[in-house]
Amino acid sequence: MQVRFEDSRPQTAKTIAYPVTGTAFPSTDQQAAALATGSAAAQRFEGEAGAILDLFVGGADGATRVLFAGIGKAASSATAYEKAGSALAARLLTSGETTLVIDLTDSNMADKAEAAAHLAFGALMRSWRYDKYRTKLTEKQKPTLTDIVIVGAGPGAADAYAPLAALAEGLSLTRELVTEPANIIYPESFVARCRSLADLGVEIRVLGEAEMEAAGMGSLLSVSQGSAREAQLLVLHWNGTGDSGNPPLALVGKGVTFDTGGISIKPAAGMEDMKWDMGGAGAVAGAMAALAGRKAKVNVVGICGLVENMPSSTATRPGDVVTSMSGQTIEVINTDAEGRLVLCDAITWVQKNYQPKTIVDLATLTGAMIVALGHEHGGLFANDDDLAAQLLAAGTASGDTLWRFPLGDAYDKLIDSPIADMKNVGPRPGGSITAAQFIKRFVDEGVRWAHLDIAGMVWAAKAGTLHDKGATGYGVRLLDRFVKDNFEG
């Protein structure tokens, strides 16, 4: 999808959209406005954000399709503009139309440039599809919309859109990684897909199994040892500050490219979904792409712990004891509680090598989180109230919403082991909390840390404002906003 900002409407335009507040139809096209006034009641159109009134207006050179996109009844927000752009893209994506013109010329919006940027972003993200493996789509099923032209937004529109375009690239990378099947995306190919970030100025380092073994990462490697695919630790460093010191912020993502559960094997029904058990690592990669793409003035390192969890004669068994990079020992009660085994070594590694002051980890960690929150919020755990507040605010502002859960000694005791320093699971009640308590044991004293359990958020069974069914890209907007509000000078 191509986005352009123009001063005037192309003469050949045959599909025109006008964002409207309530039912205040613009006078730019009096014939269309008159028709809309008469049609609004019939179509129950009240101009709410994301509502569409779709009309055809006759003319000397044929009919023109005119759409009125609601942006709400009061002063509109970025979210409202994104909903309007999204609704327009969803309506026209496979309609046969190739170009949509959104006309803001006579709009009374307070900031047309910002409105135009978010209209474009909403349309671009809602139109994202991954049809790479679909060879038998009918003509009516194939996307036709290729161009969004926004008219009359003023000279600042392109500049306002630039950071959102970078964010869109990051979101697209995350969605691609999450969508690809596990025979295509595995640890080494995940790394290969991220190599292009070097073109944006991201420094890339990769540790293979031999290097991780030398570093003592026995916990992470215990997850990988049943697979023919070699584990990888992907390190992505973006420094837009000019400061040569260590990054104050580390983002750590769980990257289980396929999770069978290992010896504690999952039920067959729905196991195909476990290709997206690397959604945390995908979000970290996408966020790093977005930050580098918009040249964010921040020094940040992203760590992706990449493994495949498979059952085989070499796989870790329930009851095995492994030694983490921190030196702490873990009794593996359930090999399907593998994400925390990956994260703990990745967190230890980044602390020893970069000494960050703040760590945020993201993981599709527990089914218990979906039971608790459904698919509406990610779960937030933190050892610092200010950090929790920053993330909650970023979630609200970005649309990647979070809900905070408790931590405490009573939960921590539930993962004590009789033969090792800890076990990797507690009892069934409070499963998401005990998983967070496990990770917390590997965070150094004085380091601010937050754990985001995003199990219910990286894949959607229904379309949302900025995504169709499938990969959502959850976490990228959240991290980008978190960094922008709290780490950029």
Cβ atoms of 332 and 316 closer than 8 Å: yes
The Cα 276–Cα 258 span in angstroms is 7
Instruction: Report the catalytic residues.
Output: 266, 340
- Residue 254's DSSP bridge partners are 305
Longest dimension (CA), the chain: 85
The Cα 6–Cα 244 span in angstroms is 41
Residues comprising the chain, all counted: 489
- Distance (Å) of CA 158 to CA 152, 430, 486: 12, 48, 25
The Cα 276–Cα 181 span in angstroms is 8
Phi-psi sector, 70: left (phi>0), alpha (psi -120 to 50), beta = beta
Tokens standing for residue 377: 């919020």
Secondary structure of the chain in the HEC alphabet?
A: CEEEEECCCCCCCCEEEEEECCCCCCCCCHHHHHHHHHHHCCCCCCCCCCCEEEEEECCCCCCEEEEEEECCCCCCCHHHHHHHHHHHHHHHCCCCCCEEEEECCCCCCCCHHHHHHHHHHHHHHHCCCCCCCCCCCCHHHCCCCCEEEEECCCCCHHHHHHHHHHHHHHHHHHHHHHHCCCCCCCHHHHHHHHHHHHHHCCEEEEECHHHHHHHCCHHHHHHHCCCCCCCEEEEEEEECCCCCCCCCEEEEEEEEEEECCCCCCCCCCCHHHHHHCCHHHHHHHHHHHHHHHCCCCCEEEEEEEEEEECCCCCCCCCCCEEECCCCCEEECCCCCCCHHHHHHHHHHHHHHHHCCCEEEEEECCCHHHHHHHCCCCEEEEECCHHHHHHHHHHHHHHCCCEEECCCCHHHHHHHCCCCCCEECCCCCCCHHHHHHHHHHCCCCCCCEEEEEECCCCCEECCCCCCCCCEECCCCHHHHHHHHHHHCCC
